[in-house]
Amino acid sequence: MTNPKGRFGIHGGQYIPETLMNAVIELEKAYDYYKKDPEFNKELTELFNEYAGRPSRLYYAEKMTRDLGGAKIYLKREDLNHTGAHKINNVLGQALLAKKMGKTRLIAETGAGQHGVATATAAALMGMECVVFMGEEDTVRQALNVYRMRLLGAEVIPVKSGTATLKDAVSEAMREWTSRIDDTHYCLGSVMGPHPFPTIVRDFQAVISKEIREQILAKEGRLPDAVLACVGGGSNAIGSFYHFIGDQEVRLIGCEAAGRGIDTAETAATIATGKPGIFHGMKSYFCQDKYGQIAPVYSISAGLDYPGIGPEHAHLYDIGRAEYVPVTDDEAVCAFEYLARTEGIIPAIESAHAVAHAIKLAPAMNKDQIIVITISGRGDKDCAAIARYRGEDLHE
Amino acid sequence: MNKIKNAFENGKAFIPFITCGDPDLETTAAVVRAAVENGADLIELGIPFSDPTAEGPVIQGANLRALNGGVTTDQIFRFVRELRRNVTVPIVFMTYANVVFSYGAERFISACKDIGIDGLILPDLPFEEKDEFLPFCHKYGVDLVSLIAPTSENRIAMIAKEAEGFIYIVSSLGVTGVRSEIKTDLTSIVKIVRENTEVPCAIGFGISTPEQAKKMAGFSDGAIVGSAIIRLLEQYGKAAPKYVGDYVKKMKSALI
């Protein structure tokens, strides 16, 4: 689906400073070589299975299915991976690639902290230096993850510029990369940024849909009717969708963070409220004003609090292959609590956005239909913030 | 048609960078006039962007002050039209791809021609993506300025061959900002540029002192200074024009 310049329809591309061009060209060449290298793939599979705990379970949520009274619901348990989220899939791939390229230092941005923790983990495992950029506001709402990263040996740099959230962390990581390229790989955490990142990250996350496909065929003998995943930049969603893109009968539904609602300014729902633009190295949809100034977006979820969406999602939306729906803070918090009570699974607040939409969707579907929801991460990191949202004075 | 080359006919060119609307457009106008009166050969006018990923903290600050002051692309277009009544040196816009793209590329670039803008510098538009805007730049006679970086290596010749207006050579790795020392082997970069084009080249990023400017212009065609000027605006605000004028005079005299 990618052409040589890394386009997904009109989206994607490489809108970055000249200083970084040779770095992304070098990365593309290395990736094109190693993705076909049996040794690289063997090592990566071993890391996935032995270190990260793959394949992750596809769990039949029987109580939730009964309670909602419609479609059969399966949960793809990415929350059970080592480090507690899907982020580890991409990071192990990129860290291994960086190591093969002779890089000794990883830098990364992080929102909720899950990608930062995963990067710090891979760096510790592979003996690499690690620096993580994190919006100052996010270092406060995800303090536990900051501690985890430091525990793993990473340096965490709070970013104070702009809205001090994920977008500013990306900008700062890009700035850092332009100043130190030789020994440093920018381990981008989502299917965004300049080519080849959206393709590399998607390929490493595609293991999610590869497994869902095999698992659902083994359990049900058929493909699901809908696959739901939350979307910020969109890495767990593209990973969940990828091996179903050719199956027109499978609905692909990305759940965006609507924050306080898409009719308010406090939202991060890019497809619902954004328009085409060029930012962070890619052409895609972005929340912005009429002069192209990037909007200060908002979501309760630090991981979805980003004003753009990956270029492949933008393309899947353009051609009508995937649907994108907004889910508010309130709906996500209710779903967070619902899944905890109903199935004994505390999802990340990000993943709770997908659960929230399933709660709306399932009752309207037939009992012989199947929904798969990707639980992209575990919710331990969110408990204090959700307690505060509910008015409890709980601090870590 | 190409007014930019006039900028390089008065000894080595001195090119100041000023962010429009920092802290307001009246000050920007006065700063531009002070710079021109004191020998600036070409003015690089920044249209502020919310997330300037190629800038260091000083120019990020200017972008923020300007946007907080409420300046918009349309106001900047009106401002340049007014400025052009008595400012004749070449003027180029420096901004980010999304500012042009979201306005409508053709609408933006045709407006540039109308108001008397001679070129466009877009730090997040590398050689591979220039077709995004180049057809309109050619249609309206606005030069799309190419950048060459310390890491460009095998790309220098390719970029230089298709360069227009002038070439902006980035002196150092990293983002904009004052540097005490510039370590890149710029002479070899300039040599490859010269072998591939007649288009003049100026060096920017990290230059703040007359000595640095003289050294950089010694083996190129000019020096570009941003952060050092923005610092004066940060420090003196509306009173900055006089200080910028004095600074430009000092810098330009090092280049003659």
For the segment A79-119, what is each residue's pLDDT rounded down to a tens digit? 999 999 999 999 999 999 999 999 999 999 998 899 999 99
Domains of chain B from N-terminus onward: 4-255 (3.20.20.70)
In terms of DSSP H, where are the helices of chain A? 18-34, 38-46, 62-68, 87-100, 114-126, 136-141, 143-151, 166-179, 197-205, 207-220, 235-241, 270-273, 311-318, 329-343, 349-361, 383-389
Query: What is the CATH topology of the domain spanning A8-48+86-201?
Result: Rossmann fold (3.40.50)
User: In angstroms, rounded to a whole number, what is the distance separating the alpha carbons of residues B52 and A173?
Assistant: 13
Annotated active-site residue A161? The verdict is no
Residue A350 clears pLDDT 80, i.e. is over it: yes
Whether A281 has its CB under 8 Å from any CB of chain B: the answer is: yes
| Residue A93, pLDDT score | 98
Residue B181 clears pLDDT 90, i.e. is over it: no
The reply to whether residue A14 touches residue B103, judged by beta carbons under 8 angstroms, is no
Residues in chain A within 8 Å Cβ distance of B132: 278
SS3 B121: strand
Which is catalytic among the residues A109, A172, A211, A331? A109
Q: How far is B62 from chain A (nearest CA, A)?
A: 12
Residues in chain B within 8 Å Cβ distance of A173: none
Residue A254 clears pLDDT 90, i.e. is over it: yes
Residue A4 clears pLDDT 70, i.e. is over it: no
Residue of B nearest to A168 (CA): B51
Domain ranges of chain A: 8-48+86-201, 54-84+206-389
| Residue A396, pLDDT score | 60
Look at phi and psi of residue A356 and say left if phi exceeds 0, alpha if psi is from -120 to 50, else beta: alpha
| Assigned token pair, A159 | 């970013």
Annotated active-site residue A299? The verdict is no
Residue A162 clears pLDDT 90, i.e. is over it: no
pLDDT, tens digit, for every residue of A177-207?
Answer: 999 999 999 999 999 999 999 999 999 999 9
Identify the residue with better confidence: A18 or A385. Answer: A18
Residues near A374 by beta carbon (within 8 Å), at least 6 away in sequence: A75, A76, A78, A86, A208, A212, A227, A228, A229, A230, A236, A237, A239, A240, A351, A354
Give the amino acid at A269.
A
Residue of B nearest to A164 (CA): B51
Whether A3 has its CB under 8 Å from any CB of chain B: the answer is: no
Query: Between A and B, how many residue pairs show a Cβ–Cβ distance under 8 A?
Result: 118
pLDDT bucket at A2, cuts 50 / 70 / 90: very low
Could you check whether A8-48+86-201 and A54-84+206-389 share the same CATH topology? yes
The reply to whether residue A181 touches residue B56, judged by beta carbons under 8 angstroms, is no
Averaged pLDDT for residues A223-228: 98
SS3 A318: helix
Q: Which of A307-311, B65-69, B182-186 has the lowest mean pLDDT?
A: B182-186
Residue B183 clears pLDDT 90, i.e. is over it: no
| Residue A211, pLDDT score | 98
Averaged pLDDT for residues A15-30: 97
pLDDT, tens digit, for every residue of A46-56?
Answer: 999 999 999 99
C-alpha A264: how far from its chain's center?
24
Residue A302 clears pLDDT 90, i.e. is over it: no
Q: Is the pTM of this model over 0.95?
A: yes
Residue B1 clears pLDDT 50, i.e. is over it: no
How is residue A345 annotated by DSSP?
Answer: -
SS3 B115: helix
Whether A277 has its CB under 8 Å from any CB of chain B: the answer is: yes
What ipTM was assigned to the predicted interfaces of this complex? 0.96
Annotated active-site residue A87? The verdict is yes
pLDDT, tens digit, for every residue of B71-129?
Answer: 999 999 999 999 999 999 999 999 999 999 999 999 999 999 999 999 999 999 999 99
| Assigned token pair, B235 | 């420090």
pLDDT bucket at A395, cuts 50 / 70 / 90: low
Q: What is the mean pLDDT of chain A?
A: 96
| Residue B184, pLDDT score | 87
pLDDT bucket at B2, cuts 50 / 70 / 90: low
Residue A3 clears pLDDT 60, i.e. is over it: no
Which is catalytic among the residues A72, A76, A87, A103? A87
The beta strands (E) that lie in chain B are given as 13-19, 43-46, 91-94, 119-121, 143-148, 167-170, 201-204, 222-225
Averaged pLDDT for residues A33-60: 98
Averaged pLDDT for residues A329-347: 98
pLDDT bucket at B13, cuts 50 / 70 / 90: very high
Q: Which CATH architecture has domain A54-84+206-389?
A: 3-Layer(aba) Sandwich (3.40)
- CB A326, CB A186: distance < 8 Å: no
Give the amino acid at B1.
M
* Burial classification of residue A323, based on how many CB atoms lie within 10 Å of its CB (0-12 exposed, 13-18 middle, 19 or more buried): middle
| Residue A277, pLDDT score | 98
| Residue A164, pLDDT score | 87
| Residue B44, pLDDT score | 98
Helices (H) and strands (E) in chain B, counts: 11, 8
The reply to whether residue B128 touches residue A21, judged by beta carbons under 8 angstroms, is yes
pLDDT bucket at A1, cuts 50 / 70 / 90: very low
